[in-house]
Amino acid sequence: MMLLKKPLLRVLLFSLLSLLGASAAGIAQKQPQNVQVRIGAILASNKNDEFDSRLKPLEKQLRVLKYRSYRLLKDESQDVPWQGNKVFEIPGGRSLMVAPQEFQDNRIGLKVRLTEGQKPLLDTTVRISNKGNFILGGPPQEGGVLVLSISATAQ
């Protein structure tokens, strides 16, 4: 205990404990159990100037696409285990399979497959920020196009 009376030793001990605490917190953060995947299916068209108020949080991102009208067709969330996958039914007889791959540097690797019936439309692997999203769009839908907002949150 006499050693602890020396300021330098107290400082070193405090620093060491801080680093250990931070490391433990970092390790704890890197072990999420599931990923909550949320899919927003949106109809974008030029039929009118309607903007669905439920899409307010995505407005800035959607305006990039230069359509006049945006309407939310479906919003669905599912918890997906790591290395597992879940299928989301998408309007227009399509389905979206999402499989979380890995979690690193607060970013989530997602394998995404969009199919129409039995026909695959797109296979992609995307790495997004935890709680971030990306937009997948283009397939024709009800006189407009289908736009999907795909977001993921590590849990």
Here the contacts of 117-124 (C-beta below 8 Å, separation 24 or greater) are 117/93, 121/94
- Among 1, 2, 3, 7, which residue interacts with another protein (rule: CB under 8 A)? 7
Two tokens, residue 66: 């230069």
CB of 114 to another protein, least distance (A): 8
CB of 80 to another protein, least distance (A): 17
- Among 56, 66, 83, 118, which residue interacts with another protein (rule: CB under 8 A)? 66
- Among 36, 72, 78, 137, which residue interacts with another protein (rule: CB under 8 A)? 137
Residues 6+ apart with CB under 8 A from 4: 10, 13
The answer to whether residue 121 forms part of the interface with another protein (CB under 8 A) is yes
Residues 6+ apart with CB under 8 A from 137: 44, 65, 145, 146, 147, 148
The answer to whether residue 36 forms part of the interface with another protein (CB under 8 A) is no
